[in-house]
Amino acid sequence: MGKLFGTDGVRGVANLDPMTSEMAMKLGRAAAHVFRKREGRQKIIIGKDTRVSGYMLESALTAGLCSMGVDVLLVGPLPTPAIAFMTRSLRADAGVMISASHNPYQDNGIKFFSNDGMKLPDELELRIEDLILSNEIEHIRPTADAIGKAYRIDDAEGRYIEFVKRSLPREMDFQNMRIVLDCAHGAAYHVFPKVIRELGAKVWVMGNEPDGLNINDGCGAVHPERLQQMVRDRKADLGIALDGDADRALFVCEQGQVVDGDHALAAFALDLKRLGRLRHNTVVGTVMSNFGFEACMREAGINLIRTAVGDRYILERMVAEDYNLGGEQSGHMIFLDYHT
C-alpha cells in the first residue's frame, strides 16, 4: 500500500483501492483510536456529499468507528464547512467528511477534522496510516454495551443555516438583490438556497437536483458557463457557484464575467483593510496566487504571505501567526474570525 493521505484526505475511485469499504472501515477504526483523548464515550460526526458511493463508505466508516466503541453522529449531505462547524458545536471528538470535492461522481474521498474543526496535521494522518499498516489495534475489540451506536442528527441543517446567518452583521441583508446560485448537485443543494432566500434575495437556483451521479457534471465552480448565461438572462446582480462539497466558491458579476478566487480575495482584503479589521494588515495566499493579486495587495499596503497549495496549509499559517483572511485562486476562502 502506498501513502494513503494526499493534500485533502484519502481520495480515489470509489470501490477501488484505497477508496473501498474495507479501507473505510480500517480508517474508521484507526481514527477512533487516534482521537481517543478522554475518558468516557467518544463521539464522531460523519457527513457526506451526494455521490452514490457515499452510502457505502458512510456505512463502512460507521462500522469501523462503532467497532472501537465510538458513537457516530450521522448528519447526511452537508457542506464540508458545516461538518467542521458541527464538530465544534456538538463537542464531538472528531468529524469526517465523505467527498471528492470537485471530482466527478465516480470518485470519492474521506477527510478528518479534529475536535476544534481543523483539518489534521501531517503527523496525525501518518499515525492513522501506521495503525492501518501495522495491525497494531487489531486486538482492540470492545464487546457487549461497549460497542458504539449510530444516531441521526435531524437538526444539523438548521443549526448550520442559523450559524451562517449569524456570521453576517444584523443590519445586513440581501433585500432587492437578484442572485443566481449553482449548487453543483452537491452537498449544499438544500442549505445554500435556504440561506440566501432567508436573507431576502430574489433567488434562481440550478444544480440542486442531485441523483447520486450528476455531482459537478457540467455545473458548479469547475463549470461556470451555464451560471454565467443565467446571470445575463435573468439580469441578476450576482452569480455564485459552489463545488461538490461546497468548500469553495466562484463568483459571476452582473455582466456574466467570472470572478475567480484571487479577485474575490483581493476584494475581501481591501474591504477588511478599509474597515480596520484586516489583522496584521496581512492576507495569506498560496504559491499559485497570481502576480496581479500580489501587485494589488502591495499597492494597497497589504502584506501577502504565500503557502503551499491547499486550504489546510493556508489555515495552518493563519492560526500559527494570527491572521484572519486567507484563500486561493480555486475559490477556497477562510475568514478565521468566523469559521475554520
pLDDT band at 170 (very low <50, low <70, confident <90, very high): confident
pLDDT band at 1 (very low <50, low <70, confident <90, very high): very low
Are domains 5-158 and 168-259 of this chain identical in fold? yes
The span from the CA of 124 to the CA of 129, in Å, is 9
Task: Report the mean per-residue pLDDT for the chain.
Answer: 95
- 101 part of the active site: yes
Annotated active-site residue in 21, 101, 114, 330: 101
The mean per-residue pLDDT over the stretch 89-116 comes to 96
CATH of the structural domain 168-259, one choice from 3.40.980.10, 3.40.50.720, 3.40.120.10, 3.30.930.10 = 3.40.120.10
At 257 the pLDDT is 97
Residue type, 14: A
pLDDT band at 199 (very low <50, low <70, confident <90, very high): very high
At 174 the pLDDT is 93
pLDDT band at 220 (very low <50, low <70, confident <90, very high): very high
pTM value is: 0.94
Outline where DSSP puts E strands in the chain: 5-6, 9-13, 43-48, 71-77, 94-98, 107-114, 150-152, 178-182, 202-206, 238-242, 249-252, 258-259, 282-286, 303-307, 325-327, 333-335
User: What is the CATH code of the structural domain delimited by 5-158?
Assistant: 3.40.120.10
**Domain extent listing, the chain:** 5-158, 168-259, 261-335
DSSP state of 120: P
Over the stretch 176-196, which tens digit does the pLDDT of each residue have?
Answer: 999 999 999 999 999 999 999
The mean per-residue pLDDT over the stretch 282-294 comes to 95
Residue 302 has pLDDT above 70, yes or no: yes
Residue 317 has pLDDT above 50, yes or no: yes
